[in-house]
Chain A
Amino acid sequence: MDKWNWDRFLDAWPYVLDGLWVTIQFTVLGSIVAYVLGLIFAIIRQLRIPVVDQVLWGFIEFVRSTPLLVQVFFLYWVIRPEVLQGVDSDTQKILVGTFALGVHYACYTSEVYRAGIEAVPKGQWEAATALSLPRSRVWTGVVLPQAIPRVLPALGNYTIAMFKEVPLLSAISVFDIVYQVKTEYAASQGGAGPEAWAAAGLTFLALSYPCAILVRRLERRVGTV
C-alpha cells in the first residue's frame, strides 16, 4: 500500500464533491420514481385485477431477485440503443440511471406501501363504504392519508440504501463519486490510492449516518409498519 499522503487526500475532495452532487441528483430522481411507481404498484396489487396482478407480482419478484447492476447493464446496453436513439448521451445516462434505480426500488417500496395500506383497519374501508364515498376518494381521503405517514421511515431507509448504490452507475460512466475517484482523479494522480477512497467513503458516511438517525427519530414519532 502507498504511504498515506495528506496532499493527495486534500486533492481528492474537489472530485468527490463534484461526484457527490451527481450522486445526490440520482438519489433524488430515483427516489421520486421509486415512491410514485411503488405506490402505483401497491394500489394496482390491492385492486386485485386478474392477470394484471399476477403479471405485476412476477415482475416485482423478478426485479427483486436479480442484481441491480445486471438491470443497469441490461437497460443501458439492450434497451437504450432501441428506445433512446438520437437522445444526447448525458440525457441517456440520466434516464437509464434514474429508471434503473427507480424501478428497482419501486419493487421494494411497493411492499412497504402494501404493508401500510393493510395496516389501515378494515373498519375504515367499511365506514367509507357506508358513506358511499367514490373509490378514488376512499384512497385519497381515507386510506392513503393514514397509510403513508406510517411508511415514511421505511421509504427514507430505501432512499439511504439507494444513495449508497448510485456508485453502480459508474459502470455506465455516470460521473458519480466513484467514477470521479477511479477515473478522473486517478488520471490526474496516476492512480486512485487510499486517500481518495477514504474521502469517498467518509462522504457517504457523513450523509448516510445523520439521515439514518433522522429516519429513526421519525420512526419513533409515527411508529413502524
Chain B
Amino acid sequence: MSEEEQQIPPEDANAPINVKVVSATGDEVFFKIKRSTKLSKLQGAYANKVGKDVNSIRFLYDGARISDTDTPASLDMEDNDTIDVMVEQVGGCVPCSS
C-alpha cells in the first residue's frame, strides 16, 4: 500500500488539467493542458480558435498577467481553473460628439 501511495504524486504532477478560458463577454473555451506545458502555447491556440492576433489579447490568471514562460505548475493552477482573456485597451479621448 505504502509503495502505491508514494507513486501517486509524480503521476498527479504529470496529469493534464482542464483550463477554462473566459472572455470579457463571457464566452468560454475549454483546454486540456499538461501542467508542464507553457501557457504561451495555450494562448496561441486560443487566438487561433477565435481568429484574433495573439498580440492583441491579454491572458490573466487571478488578475495578474500571464507571461510567456508561465506554466500551470509555475502558477500553481488547479484542475478546472479559469483564465480571463481581455482585449488590448487604448485611449486618447472620447470623440466630443458622443
- A and B part of one assembly: no
Interface residues of A (CB under 8 A from B): none
